[in-house]
Amino acid sequence: MKRTDHILAFTTTLLRAPDADVDRLLATLEKIYSLQEPRKPGAVSLGAEQDDTEETFATWLRRLRSEHVKDVHVSYHAFDERDMPAHMAAAFAGIPDLLLRVKTARRTHAFALNTYFCPQYELTPQQFITLLDSQPDKTHLWNRAAELILESNGMNNRRVFPPEETPAYLQTAEGRQVFEYLAPDLVKELQIECTVREQPFVIPEDFQALFVKYDYSFFDDDREYVYLYPLRDVSAQEILDLVHAQSFGLLLWETLNTTLQEYDDPAVSVVAPEQWEKTLRGMSREDLERIVHPLCRSICTLCEAAGVKPIIPAALAGSFGPDEEEQKRSAARSKDKDRWNLQSTQNPWEHYAFRPVEDAPRFTPASLSESRKAFLEALKAIRLFAGGIDSPFEEAFGLSMFALQSFSPGRYDDAHIASLVAALSKAGFSEQAIENFRQATWVGELCTELGWEASRTQGMLAVKFADVFGGMGSWNDQYIEEDHETFQKVSSELFEALKRYQALLL
């Protein structure tokens, strides 16, 4: 049971409950979630929203109940499979696929449960604006910040705007998202600009707690790194002109041979040092492309050992980089010891809000017994397939079937759990499966506390055991080569049946 399922279970129960039970259920819910303060630091909060207006969960709930609730349903709506099959999309958090539908005496409502996570860092966009305005050369730093943001936006199909509008953009909804993603790089690059221009990076006194320095003592911070790379396709003559500008002679060709051996490219052969110039002149453009990067790396290796910078003749300024200013930036990027880093959010929060859905898909409640039957058939098929490929998930599917068909009703207290453990052991389930059951007993306790009947509780436990879809290490995080088509078929059928059955249980 995911957190969104937990919230929906409480919410549907509260909407259906007699008036006499509402305060008790709300008090129980408030022990788990913040119901009065949205986005409360260090907590998980619930609420509701419409357009730009927010409402507390209790106010929203009582408003709906005041309309005299007639029916409450949860419906499943699959992810658009033109982009990705629904059972694969389950690996990505935050994709709402369940709708809460509430029919009252006044109208029928549909709500999606939206999820919000706190920013990763303490620094806000508004504070970032103040930070840049506090710098001695704020105009240059704002130009650099705009350059970085616009470069990112261009690559990610986001809004492109005049650079002078950067402060205003950062305060928009999209701008806040972009800032959350780029904030560490922005702060790093702006400090590098200050280093290159030999200016201080000023942190206002009341912002000091928003930054932190890390211990990089395990790095060789005194080593001077140098950089060299082609800016475009270059000719053999340009490569040789670059080589002749350095002072390393045959040692450079010897170093190139060593570098090529490290690259281990079968398309490139080592050449006697005195033969490299002749070999380069006879190379095709494709072969030159393979050589130029190892050659630049070889020049850098020798320069770092000698404590010098690569020499790029003026005639090659358009062929090789970096220029002097970019070289300073690159060198500064490798020195982290004195750089300020953003402080991570110290009291993270999560917020879940019910938001009205306009033009919700048409919905006709299905039969719970038919959905249970479809879920069980899908479980049987995928368990058979998992057994055929010796998958450890076979037991998870078997545990789900056992919960659905064979669990005895009870309150999921110690005595009831002990009897279920004995039944699982007698049925041949492993210690790991029994431990997985023990860790899931809270679902049974929750359903009992909510007053759900035994069959509904058994269904929720069965769904929990069968919901093996997700990210790394899950059922769908594998490629079954021997029968991929069947794997996709049984996975899709179980996911669809599971979600539809779960929606009806809720």
pLDDT number for residue 218: 52
At how many degrees (to 10) do helices 3-16 and 57-66 cross?
Answer: 40
What does the pLDDT look like over 66-103, one tens digit per residue?
Answer: 999 999 999 988 654 444 455 444 444 445 588 999 99
Confidence of residue 16 (pLDDT cuts 50, 70, 90): very high
Confidence of residue 221 (pLDDT cuts 50, 70, 90): low
Q: For tokens 């080569």, what's the residue?
A: 481
pTM: 0.72
231: pLDDT strictly greater than 80: yes
| CA angle, 40 then 43 then 46, to 5° | 75
User: Count of alpha carbons within 13 Å of 35, Cβ hemisphere only?
Assistant: 18
* Mean confidence (pLDDT) of the chain: 89
pLDDT number for residue 415: 94
CA dist 287 and 299 (Å) reads 19
pLDDT number for residue 173: 87
Using alpha carbons, list the distances in angstroms from residue 480 to 8, 67, 128, 365, 483: 34, 52, 48, 35, 6
What does the pLDDT look like over 256-300, one tens digit per residue?
Answer: 999 999 887 888 888 999 999 999 999 999 999 999 999 999 999
Strands 229-230 and 98-104: unpaired
Query: Do residues 481 and 366 touch, judged by C-beta distance below 8 A?
Result: no
Q: Higher model confidence: residue 364 or residue 192?
A: 192
Characterize 388-411 residue by residue with b for buried, 16 or more Cβ atoms within 10 angstroms of its Cβ, and e for exposed. eeebebbbbbbbbbbbbeebeeee
142: pLDDT strictly greater than 70: yes
Confidence of residue 336 (pLDDT cuts 50, 70, 90): low
φ, ψ dihedrals at 133, nearest 5°: -65, -15
> Which of 162-176, 323-337, 350-364, 376-390 has the least mean pLDDT?
323-337
Mean pLDDT, range 198-216, rounded to an integer: 89
477: pLDDT strictly greater than 80: no
CA dist 211 and 368 (Å) reads 54
What is the maximal distance between C-alpha atoms in the chain? 94
CA dist 412 and 419 (Å) reads 10
φ, ψ dihedrals at 17, nearest 5°: -70, 150
Q: Report the percent of the chain where pLDDT is more than 70.
A: 93
Q: Higher model confidence: residue 389 or residue 43?
A: 43
Using alpha carbons, list the distances in angstroms from residue 323 to 35, 194, 230, 320: 57, 17, 12, 8
Name the helix (H) or strand (E) containing 61. helix 57-66
143: pLDDT strictly greater than 90: yes
Q: Higher model confidence: residue 216 or residue 9?
A: 9
Look at residues 104, 105, 103, 85 and name the one whose alpha carbon lies nearest to residue 95: 85
472: pLDDT strictly greater than 90: no
pLDDT number for residue 82: 45
**Beta bridge partners of residue 100, listed in sequence order:** 74, 111
